[in-house]
Amino acid sequence: MPHRHHPPNFPPPLAVFAGQVPPAPAWFSQALADAPERFEVPVQGAPIETLAWGRVGDPGLLLLHGNGAHADWYSFIAPLLREGRRVVAMSFSGMGGSGWRTQYRVAQWADEALAVAEGAGLFEAGLPPTLVAHSFGGFPLMSAAARFGDRLARAVIVDTPLRPPPGADARRRHRVENLRSARVYASQAEALMRFRLLPPQGCAHPFIADLIARRGLKPVAGPDGRPGWVWRFDPFLFRHFDFGRPYRDLRQARCPVTLVRGGRSRLLTTELMAHALSLAPAGTQVLELPDADHHVMVDQPQAFAALLDGLTPRA
């Protein structure tokens, strides 16, 4: 009998492809062919990687990623939403192609989101933009909703677990003590074959896993001087980190809030969703994306895009 508290062991989704690009359906290839504008928005001393689709002046939509991810987690979602909209994705500092800092704060990531929304023209429409955040990105969005929510149309928080885990401080100290320099892989193929989704889950769409993994790598010189590959995030991000007060922020949200859960998510259980709803402002909307684990854009990309399409205005 399997242990109740241990998830199944999922093999790395790209191992069988040995560095080759998995076959992809036409809709996915067409979405990637709709390449974004790529530019940087400077925020408090760090360049913030920004991707944008659509016309400035159309209703704005800003997409925020989770921990250890990057803007290209949305590069196959945003084209499905760009008709009649200005759609933008960004990488928080310390992740993706954005600059690194000596210390990080959830509130500062919220500042980055606002600056990118301004810099990418999302406030040029006749109505305020909608912000969407997945997983850990939900915490900066809660901060944004509390601090400048009166400038936002809606905050859509997707599979973000809001909980007071016992021993959190001890676990955080343990995590900081175990931080280490990024592993350098000898080849891109080796890194791709090691890629896993966290928390662990299955992957029915390896072509999506390949994209987010491939665009999450960068070439470097290894410790021995030989060329290698590392993941594009600061391995010491949590060494000096200020989490803020998400409970307070969610309670004080100054814009409409929608909470979204992956129907199979082990990270955001139905009990934790009910807990988040009890903290959220009155009238908060709750939606569930069926047949999706935590990484909803990987599991149900078209259904996720359709859900967001129903929540955001267009010209």
Q: What burial letters (b/e) apply to 266-304, b meaning 16+ CB within 10 Å? A: ebbeeebbebbeebbeeebeeebbeebbbbbbbbbbeeb
- Tell me whether residue 269 is in a domain: yes
Cα 205 from Cα 168, distance rounded (Å): 33
Q: Is the peptide bond before 223 cis (omega within 30 degrees of 0)?
A: no
Does the pLDDT of residue 288 top 60, yes or no?
A: yes
Q: What is the CATH number of the domain that holds 141?
A: 3.40.50.1820
For the chain, the average pLDDT equals: 93
Cα 198 from Cα 53, distance rounded (Å): 28
Question: Which pTM was predicted?
Answer: 0.94
39 - beta bridge partners?
50
Taking only the tens place, the pLDDT of each residue in 260-277 is: 999 999 999 999 999 999
- Tell me whether residue 245 is in a domain: yes
pLDDT bin (cut points 50, 70, 90) of residue 225 is confident
Cα 164 from Cα 106, distance rounded (Å): 17
Report which of 58, 51, 59, 96 is spatially closest to residue 78, judged by C-alpha positions.
51
219 HSE (CA, 13 A, CB side): 4
Indicate the DSSP class of residue 204.
Answer: S
- Tell me whether residue 55 is in a domain: yes
- Tell me whether residue 24 is in a domain: no
Domain hosting 46: range is 30-178+234-311
- Tell me whether residue 63 is in a domain: yes
- Tell me whether residue 197 is in a domain: no
- Tell me whether residue 200 is in a domain: no
- Tell me whether residue 201 is in a domain: no
Number of domains observed in the structure of the chain:
1
Taking only the tens place, the pLDDT of each residue in 68-124 is: 999 999 999 999 999 999 999 999 999 999 999 999 999 999 999 999 999 999 999
Q: Report residue 219: phi and psi, to 5°.
A: -75, 140
* Residue 3, token pair as written in the block: 């242990």
In this predicted model, which residue has the larger pLDDT, 179 or 201?
Answer: 201
Let me know: does 22 contact 207? Beta carbons within 8 Å: yes
